């Protein structure tokens, strides 16, 4: 029973990691920028979700509205923060992004308070019986279903729409894509919108699971998501998804079996360092 | 008087700490986002030794050696990965350090080490020691800058592959930069532990790494004077202005972002640009 419980815990956590890391890998694939401030959008999405529900909105409205708002803010970050840094070394954008992220956390603390926010009446808390004697809260099921749904939508968008083709062309060769008439700026805007919206979705999901949103809730995911996209082989969406799920499950078991030597949050970084040293091109990429 | 001594001590320690990162990041061009880990190693080693009866002056040597040895290990990472990947590897090292220390009962676990003994001659004694260490490190930095070593560092920082073409042993110099820089951070950490007289895993987390990086970036990556000034100001600002203390991370974060976005060469870059505008026809 503990085994199933841990596996499900890992799966749910992995789905959340996947939603956050996807936005990061989309940005990296397109701009070669490690977008740490992405996690600030995840936190913001969680705040929007709680505020909208507490103001009387339905949870579905909260999710959609939060995703749209945060998506637009994501575009704003691209235009204000990254666009002027594109011709500089990638390190400059990375450090700027860390600065932006730390400042954003502090702004949340000032605006929303240091002690966090909760739902006044948390939605989706009913227990659903999956099979006899095994219950799971609706919010956890919801996390898995929504993650699968949105990642599938994203896959379909990339594979079979004009925008998706333009996006893939820009990732593989921006100059060539531009010469074929692809509006690169538009592709980048859509990219940031989708990535940020997925982060907001992850934020609302975590708010549902833990019923608490704190200013610093993005701190650990921010750096862990970096570890995930490196493990997934940088720029590979499939690799990122696998790495997210694997890390979720490893952490869930590791906390029980290795918790006395290593902090839970350090596990990801131990893996990150090992992988970067042995296979700098990532675990899943063959070269 | 004791207030001034406290401020001057934290200023000297911060300058030493920031210059030690500047040697790695500024001189040699290798970014470290986990520099606080070495600060922490020095702090723990020195604190344990002085609690066992050593004098701090003596304990600073093992602190520097331990930090430098671990620094050499981390420096090996810089031989494998570059630029932003080195940055996230060192960031991982920082998280790993905190994650491991947190779970070690011998190091006080979550609670850390408290009632660290005071130094001979008390606070003025610590200030003297901190200022001597800082002065020695500044002299070392100036010496390195002017020597062949500094030239080798600079060539690696500019373009590693070209440096290698010219016969510079890139791996050796990178490791050397890490060893000197992290040993400096170890000394700074040992001093810090006896300045605050309480240390815990959270004193050496990512926030500290970013804080010291902010000092280097705002001062101007690679500039000795710029980094020293930025470290002096940024470390003492929270002590003088309550406002700064309340919103410390907001200010540090914004400073890092704005510097990178609008003036990537920091204060020293701005000063140099103004100077040149003023003195060119």
Residue A35 lies in a domain: yes
The answer to whether A96 contacts B84, with C-beta atoms less than 8 Å apart, is: no
Which are the contacts of A209, defined by CB distance < 8 A and separation ≥ 6?
A12, A139, A140, A143
C-alpha to C-alpha distance for A18 and A247, rounded to whole angstroms: 10
Q: What are phi and psi of B199, to 5 degrees?
A: -135, 150
Q: What is the ipTM of this complex?
A: 0.80
What are the pLDDT digits (tens) for A102-125? 899 889 998 988 888 888 887 777
The answer to whether A100 contacts B253, with C-beta atoms less than 8 Å apart, is: yes
The DSSP symbol for A66 reads H
C-alpha to C-alpha distance for B242 and B263, rounded to whole angstroms: 27
Q: Please give the average per-residue pLDDT across A124-135, as a whole number.
A: 72
Distance from CA of A71 to the nearest CA of B (A): 21
Domain span at residue A148?
Answer: 18-215
Whose CA is closest to B222, among B15, B54, B4, B24? Answer: B24
Domain count of the fold of chain A: 1
Residue B249: pLDDT band (50, 70, 90) is confident
Residue recorded with tokens 């930090």: B67
Which are the contacts of B35, defined by CB distance < 8 A and separation ≥ 6?
B17, B20, B21, B24, B90, B94, B181, B182, B185, B209, B212, B213
Distance from CA of B214 to the nearest CA of A (A): 9
pLDDT at A132: 65
Which are the contacts of B75, defined by CB distance < 8 A and separation ≥ 6?
B30, B174, B175, B177, B178, B179, B182
Instruction: Report the range out of A171-185, A217-231, B123-137 with the highest average pLDDT.
Output: B123-137
Q: Please give the average per-residue pLDDT across B25-33, as a whole number.
A: 88
pLDDT at A128: 75
What are the pLDDT digits (tens) for A133-168? 677 788 888 888 888 898 888 888 888 888 888 888
**With 60 as the cut, is the pLDDT of residue A285 above it?**
no
Residue in B with minimal Cα distance to A35: B84
Q: How far is CA B27 from the centre of its chain?
A: 13
pLDDT at A85: 86
Q: Please give the average per-residue pLDDT across A256-279, as a whole number.
A: 75
- Please give the interface size between A and B, counted as residue pairs whose CB atoms are below 8 Å apart: 132
Of B96, B98, B257, the CB nearest to A99: B257
What are the pLDDT digits (tens) for B204-219? 988 889 889 888 988 9
Structure tokens at A53: 């529900």
The answer to whether A98 contacts B214, with C-beta atoms less than 8 Å apart, is: no
Residue A252 lies in a domain: no
**With 90 as the cut, is the pLDDT of residue B113 above it?**
no
Q: Please give the average per-residue pLDDT across B98-103, as a whole number.
A: 87
Residue A226 lies in a domain: no
- Which percentage of chain B shows pLDDT scores above 90? 36
pLDDT at A287: 44
**With 80 as the cut, is the pLDDT of residue B281 above it?**
no
CB atoms within 10 A of CB B227: 30
Q: Please give the average per-residue pLDDT across A245-255, as a whole number.
A: 84
Q: Please give the average per-residue pLDDT across A47-70, as a whole number.
A: 92
Of A92, A106, A227, the CB nearest to B247: A106
Q: Please give the average per-residue pLDDT across A216-243, as a whole number.
A: 82
pLDDT at A265: 74
Residue A227 lies in a domain: no
C-alpha to C-alpha distance for B8 and B195, rounded to whole angstroms: 11
**With 80 as the cut, is the pLDDT of residue B240 above it?**
no
Residue A50 lies in a domain: yes
Residue B238, Cβ density class (10 Å: 0-12 exposed, 13-18 middle, ≥19 buried): middle
Of B99, B210, B217, the CB nearest to A262: B99
Rounded to 5 degrees, what angle do the CA atoms B256, B94, A201 make?
Answer: 70
C-alpha to C-alpha distance for A199 and A38, rounded to whole angstroms: 7
Question: The whole model's pTM is what?
Answer: 0.84
Q: Please give the average per-residue pLDDT across B190-208, as a whole number.
A: 89
Residue B49: pLDDT band (50, 70, 90) is very high
pLDDT at B186: 96
Whose CA is closest to A255, among A237, A241, A267, A243? Answer: A267
Q: Please give the average per-residue pLDDT across B266-281, as a whole number.
A: 83
What are the pLDDT digits (tens) for A187-229? 899 999 999 999 999 999 999 888 888 888 888 888 888 888 8
Mean pLDDT, chain A, as a whole number? 85
C-alpha to C-alpha distance for A168 and A29, rounded to whole angstroms: 10
pLDDT at A281: 64
pLDDT at A229: 83
Mutate which: A33, A34, A87, A96, vs B, most B CBs within 10 A: A96
- Which of the residue ranges A22-36, B16-30, B106-120 would you say has the lowest mean pLDDT? B106-120
Distance from CA of A195 to the nearest CA of B (A): 21
Mean pLDDT, chain B, as a whole number? 88
Residue in B with minimal Cα distance to A96: B257
Residue A233 lies in a domain: no
């Amino acid at each position: 029973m503990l085994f199933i419980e841990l596996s499900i815990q890992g799966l749910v956590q992995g789905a959340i990691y996947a939603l956050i890391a996807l936005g990061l890998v989309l940005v990296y694939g397109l701009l070669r920028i490690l977008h740490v401030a992405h996690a600030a959008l995840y936190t913001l999405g969680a705040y929007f979700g709680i505020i909208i529900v507490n103001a009387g909105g339905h949870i579905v409205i909260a999710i959609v509205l939060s995703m749209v708002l945060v998506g637009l803010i994501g575009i704003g970050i691209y235009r204000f923060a990254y666009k002027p840094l594109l011709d500089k070394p990638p390190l400059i954008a990375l450090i700027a992004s860390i600065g932006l992220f730390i400042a954003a956390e502090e702004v949340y603390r000032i605006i929303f308070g240091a002690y966090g926010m909760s739902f006044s009446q948390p939605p989706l808390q009913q227990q659903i019986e999956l099979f006899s004697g095994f219950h799971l809260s609706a919010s956890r099921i919801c996390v898995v279903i929504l993650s699968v749904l949105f990642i599938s939508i994203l896959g379909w968008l990339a594979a079979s729409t004009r925008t998706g083709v333009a996006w893939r062309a820009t990732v593989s060769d921006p100059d060539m894509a531009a010469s074929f008439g692809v509006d690169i700026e538009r592709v980048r805007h859509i990219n940031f919108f989708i990535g940020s919206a997925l982060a907001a979705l992850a934020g609302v999901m975590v708010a549902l699971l833990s019923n608490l949103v704190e200013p610093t809730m993005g701190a650990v995911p921010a750096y862990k998501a970096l570890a995930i996209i490196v493990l997934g082989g940088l720029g590979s969406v499939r690799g990122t998804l696998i790495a997210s799920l694997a890390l979720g499950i490893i952490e869930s078991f590791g906390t029980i079996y290795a918790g006395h030597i290593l902090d839970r949050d350090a596990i990801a970084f131990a893996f990150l360092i090992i992988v970067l040293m042995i296979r700098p091109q990532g675990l899943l990429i063959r070269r | 008087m004791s207030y001034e001594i406290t401020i001057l001590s934290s200023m000297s320690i911060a300058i030493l700490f920031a210059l030690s990162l500047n040697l790695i990041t500024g001189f040699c061009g290798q970014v470290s986002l986990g520099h606080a880990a070495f600060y922490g190693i020095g702090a723990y080693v020195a604190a344990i030794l002085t609690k066992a009866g050593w004098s701090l002056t003596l304990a600073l040597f093992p602190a520097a050696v331990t930090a430098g040895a671990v620094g050499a290990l981390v420096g090996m990472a810089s031989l494998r990965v570059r630029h932003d990947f080195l940055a996230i590897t060192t960031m991982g090292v920082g998280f790993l350090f905190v994650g491991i220390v947190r779970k070690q009962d011998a190091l006080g676990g979550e609670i850390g080490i408290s009632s660290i003994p005071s130094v001979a001659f008390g606070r003025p004694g610590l200030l003297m020691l901190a200022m001597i260490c800082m002065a020695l490190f500044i002299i070392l930095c100036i010496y390195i800058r002017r020597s062949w070593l500094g030239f080798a560092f600079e060539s690696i920082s500019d373009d590693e592959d070209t440096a290698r073409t010219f016969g510079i042993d890139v791996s050796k110099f990178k490791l050397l930069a890490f060893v000197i820089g992290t040993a400096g951070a170890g000394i700074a950490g040992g001093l810090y532990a006896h300045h605050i007289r309480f240390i815990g895993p959270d004193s050496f987390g990512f926030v500290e790494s970013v804080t010291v990086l902010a000092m280097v970036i705002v001062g101007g990556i690679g500039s000795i004077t710029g980094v020293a000034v930025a470290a002096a100001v940024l470390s003492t600002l929270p002590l003088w202005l309550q406002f700064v203390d309340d919103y410390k991370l907001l200010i540090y974060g914004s400073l890092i972002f704005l510097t990178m976005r609008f003036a990537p060469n920091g204060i020293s870059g701005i000063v140099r640009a103004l100077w040149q505008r003023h003195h060119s026809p």
